[in-house]
Chain A
Amino acid sequence: MYQIMKAEKLADKIFLMDVHAPRVAQHCEPGQFVIVKLDEKGERIPLTICDYDREAGTITIVVQEVGASTTKMGSLKEGDYFRDFTGPLGCPSEFVHEDIETLKNKKMLFVAGGVGAAPVYPQVKWLKEHGIDVDVIVGSKTKDMLILEDEMKAVAGNYYPCTDDGTYGHAGMVTTMVEELVNEGKKYDVCIAIGPMIMMKFVCLLTKKLGIPTIVSMNPIMVDGTGMCGACRLQVGDEIKFACVDGPEFDGHLVDFDQAMKRSQMYKTEEGRAMLKLQEGDTHHGGCGHCGGDE
């Protein structure tokens, strides 16, 4: 059992938790993820590591309520437990292994969309700790949905918030912001984009045009997260890769996003049913013969 040491609501349906998992905290690096399982009957869900404290033995995760399992997780309080918490999984971000002096000469741009700010944060923080300043664009639908702003400001060289509805920062999508910075004369050697697949796809289309090598962190469906099933497989260039062991970070210009997005929709109906059952509780009638119910 893995205890929740801190639980905090960051925005509507977005929650941050510090979880006590010393083995994970001891070995994790930016870019890696964990698999969590809430209780006996729960499913295994991958979540990117948002921060870690090796001394305290804790891992910070950010959960957005998007389905039945994450909604249950959203109701967890400080002192509650996850039954299972496995990691760190996947490969660390490439720059962790690079020479610091080489890195210092690189101009890096991070682009985060929505809760993608959570996995971007430990990378930017790691770079800051190694004396490297990077530009960070964070996009969200609206001002109230923007998360980890103070934290990000503290570690980013330049911080550019954007909102789709223009309620805060620059008005418009993250891609508009990327174009704007490049038009201002900024040059980037690498772009790291993390967020919903559709956002990563459009960032990649743009950066390909602009000639900026781009790394994305893929978030396909996973089960075990250790390479034993291939649920998370992706077409990357002419190879099939398992995101859980070969990634989750890949060359964004080689990823087949359309296929990846299609695969993400595979369980849509099952997910919808699970959500309905949770919302309607005991009043959930199921199987009336008209709606498809539970069967």
Chain B
Amino acid sequence: MADMLKKVPVREQDPKVRATNFDEVCLGYNLEEAMDEAARCLNCRNAKCIQGCPVAIDIPAFIHEVKEGNIEEAYKVIGKSSALPAICGRVCPQESQCEGKCIRGIKGEPVSIGKLERFVADYALENDIKPVGAETQNGHKVAVIGSGPSGLTCAGDLAKKGYAVTVFEALHELGGVLVYGIPEFRLPKQKVVAKEIEKVKELGVKFETNVVIGKSTMIDQLMEEEGFEAVFIGSGAGLPMFMGIPGENSNGVFSANEYLTRSNLMKAFDDSYDTPIIAGKKVAVVGGGNVAMDAARTALRLGADVHVIYRRSEAELPARVEEVHHAKEEGVVFNLLTNPKKINVDENGNISSVTVIKMELGEPDASGRRRPVEIPGSEYDIQVDTVIMALGTSPNPLISSTTKGLETNRRKCIVADEENGQTSKEGVFAGGDAVTGAATVILAMGAGKAGAKGIDEYLSGREG
């Protein structure tokens, strides 16, 4: 029997080996390990972990089934609340959600809820266990804009309730940030994402790729001409920010979105695909979020020495603890309390270095975080040939600017009710990063769920 105070360790690829490939780092539990870990759950009556989960999965109930070895039953329990467990088990920041609330975590390590969810979901994918769909169709047509986590969740939930759902996606592949943003070594595309989306298709959801809403057609036209009675906007926050420093348009400066899209969506890391990528020999990634970690670890796998440049200290890094830990193990160097001032270019137009300045933390700002302040005269150069900007993203104005009566706030986010996703326009609901700005996969899923509930209430209310 395992140590009850500690998580059953999960098998991972050796850091030296995995730094040279794009295969998944974490190998996950096997049945025996999962059952051992499940036995650590105290099956709390008033389970705090459920409150920590944005989609309120009945965690003790599914873990109880795992403990007994009834994995198919466990999958059904999760399926009541989540449409994408194989993804969430991998990419949720569990330490600040379900696992952060686990009673076991007070004296020892919390139950490894994410890894157990992942085990159950992977089992369902491998054994082709079908999700439970609606018995009858209710005849209502709903359009979902965007096939990222919020759109997929909303579509899945509505299909389970009997709605005829069509998802419109601007890119050529389904999944949003799950395919273009999060790298293969964290979230395998064929083995996990494509199969999980296949399950949403099995629920009867239709998908149309290469449709840019706001360009290929408009929301008003979907409602007026194509017979959609309600629309859910889950278009995300895909617009990259740049710093506005000198040299930022030099060859070799990329947004993390471009770098990751080339590598993940277009598979530029694989020679048999046509899209090129400039890997760089020495790469600076600017930023400290998950996107920065993903870009840094991608550049590393393409053969570069990688520096992460972040203006606050390690404690403020917004990235998941596990990802920072993995990045360090793989050899990413962290230049903390440091901020770029300009990008220097040689006579051929290539980047020769980036001039950075040291920072110290001052008084807390409005958000409660200590504000980084430049230390005068502390500038120095880091020799690099490639710079990747991972400073965050904001919502693309394409949809809000082409839809009549859709209110946005000053950050260009769509204004929507948190409880049901209702926007300022009748019949139009929204959720995920399009509403909140860049956040997490599971929050987007929670918003997709809320939107599906809102749409269901709106359309079933209209029947009466």
Interface assignment of A276: CB less than 8 Å from any CB of chain B: no
Decide: A245 near B275, CB < 8 A? Known: A23-B211, A227-B238, A262-B251: no
Interface assignment of A86: CB less than 8 Å from any CB of chain B: yes
Could you say which of B172, B217, B238, B251 contacts A228, with CB atoms under 8 Å apart? Answer: B238
- Interface contact B278-A228, CB-CB below 8 Å: no
CA distance A228 to B177 in the complex (A): 11
CA distance A178 to B261 in the complex (A): 42
Could you say which of A41, A69, A229 contacts B257, with CB atoms under 8 Å apart? Answer: A229
- Interface contact B257-A263, CB-CB below 8 Å: no
CA distance A263 to B239 in the complex (A): 20
Q: Which residues of B contact A68 (CB under 8 A)?
A: 274
Chain A proximity of B35: nearest CB distance (Å): 40
Interface hit among B21-29, B118-126, B194-202, B265-273: B265-273
Chain A proximity of B121: nearest CB distance (Å): 26
- Interface contact B275-A43, CB-CB below 8 Å: yes
- Interface contact B396-A43, CB-CB below 8 Å: no
Segment 204-239 of B: residues with Cβ below 8 Å from A: 209-212, 215-217, 238-239
Chain B residues with a Cβ closer than 8 Å to the other chain, count: 38
Interface assignment of A122: CB less than 8 Å from any CB of chain B: no
Could you say which of B217, B252, B267 contacts A26, with CB atoms under 8 Å apart? Answer: B217
Chain A proximity of B288: nearest CB distance (Å): 20
- Interface contact A23-B217, CB-CB below 8 Å: yes
- Interface contact B278-A226, CB-CB below 8 Å: no
Interface assignment of A231: CB less than 8 Å from any CB of chain B: yes
Chain B 247-273 per-residue mask, 1 if CB under 8 angstroms from chain A, else 0: 011011011011001100011000111
Interface assignment of A235: CB less than 8 Å from any CB of chain B: yes
Interface assignment of A125: CB less than 8 Å from any CB of chain B: no
Interface assignment of B459: CB less than 8 Å from any CB of chain A: no
Interface of B is mostly: loop
Decide: A89 near B274, CB < 8 A? Known: A227-B398, A228-B239: no
Q: Which residues of B contact A89 (CB under 8 A)?
A: 212, 215
Chain A proximity of B275: nearest CB distance (Å): 4
Q: Which residues of A contact B105 (CB under 8 A)?
A: none
Q: Which residues of B contact A262 (CB under 8 A)?
A: 251, 349
Chain A proximity of B258: nearest CB distance (Å): 4
Interface assignment of B240: CB less than 8 Å from any CB of chain A: yes
Decide: A224 near B240, CB < 8 A? Known: A86-B170, A86-B216, A240-B249: no
- Interface contact B276-A41, CB-CB below 8 Å: no
Could you say which of B216, B239, B252, B254 contacts A23, with CB atoms under 8 Å apart? Answer: B216
Which has the most chain A C-beta neighbours within 10 Å: B170, B244, B274? B274
- Interface contact A233-B238, CB-CB below 8 Å: no
Could you say which of B249, B271, B273, B278 contacts A233, with CB atoms under 8 Å apart? Answer: B249
- Interface contact A41-B273, CB-CB below 8 Å: yes
Q: Which residues of B contact A288 (CB under 8 A)?
A: none
Interface assignment of A99: CB less than 8 Å from any CB of chain B: no
Chain B proximity of A226: nearest CB distance (Å): 5
- Give the number of residue pairs across the A-B interface with Cβ within 8 Å: 110
Q: Which residues of A contact B458 (CB under 8 A)?
A: none
Segment 206-251 of A: residues with Cβ below 8 Å from B: 223-224, 226-231, 233-235, 240, 245
Interface assignment of B373: CB less than 8 Å from any CB of chain A: no
Q: Which residue of A lies closest to B170 (CB)?
A: A226
- Interface contact A231-B276, CB-CB below 8 Å: no
Could you say which of B172, B248, B261 contacts A84, with CB atoms under 8 Å apart? Answer: B172
Chain A proximity of B186: nearest CB distance (Å): 20
- Interface contact B209-A227, CB-CB below 8 Å: no
Decide: A224 near B398, CB < 8 A? Known: A23-B211, A24-B216, A86-B172: no
Could you say which of A229, A240, A266, A274 contacts B261, with CB atoms under 8 Å apart? Answer: A229
- Interface contact B240-A230, CB-CB below 8 Å: yes
- Interface contact A227-B276, CB-CB below 8 Å: no
Q: Which residues of A contact B248 (CB under 8 A)?
A: 240
Q: Which residues of A contact B273 (CB under 8 A)?
A: 41, 43
CA distance A82 to B192 in the complex (A): 26
Q: Which residue of B lies closest to A82 (CB)?
A: B210
- Interface contact B171-A88, CB-CB below 8 Å: no
- Interface contact B240-A228, CB-CB below 8 Å: yes
Chain B 112-135 per-residue mask, 1 if CB under 8 angstroms from chain A, else 0: 000000000000000000000000
CA distance A294 to B272 in the complex (A): 11
- Interface contact A270-B276, CB-CB below 8 Å: yes
- Interface contact A266-B278, CB-CB below 8 Å: yes
Q: Which residues of B contact A230 (CB under 8 A)?
A: 240, 242, 254-255, 257-258
Decide: A226 near B212, CB < 8 A? Known: A23-B217, A27-B217, A265-B251: yes
Q: Which residues of B contact A274 (CB under 8 A)?
A: 274, 276
Interface assignment of A83: CB less than 8 Å from any CB of chain B: yes
Supply 23 A–B pairs (Cβ within 8 Å), ascending by A: A24-B216, A37-B172, A42-B274, A43-B274, A83-B172, A84-B172, A87-B216, A88-B215, A226-B215, A226-B238, A228-B261, A228-B396, A230-B257, A231-B255, A233-B249, A240-B249, A245-B396, A262-B349, A266-B251, A266-B252, A266-B278, A270-B278, A274-B274
Residues of chain B touching chain A, judged by Cβ–Cβ distance below 8 Å, are 170-172, 209-212, 215-217, 238-240, 242, 244, 248-249, 251-252, 254-255, 257-258, 261-262, 266-267, 271-276, 278, 349, 393, 396, 398
Residues of chain A touching chain B, judged by Cβ–Cβ distance below 8 Å, are 23-24, 26-27, 37, 41-44, 68-69, 83-89, 223-224, 226-231, 233-235, 240, 245, 259, 262-263, 265-267, 270-271, 274, 294
Nearest 7 interchain pairs by C-beta: A270-B276, A229-B258, A228-B238, A84-B172, A43-B274, A43-B275, A86-B210
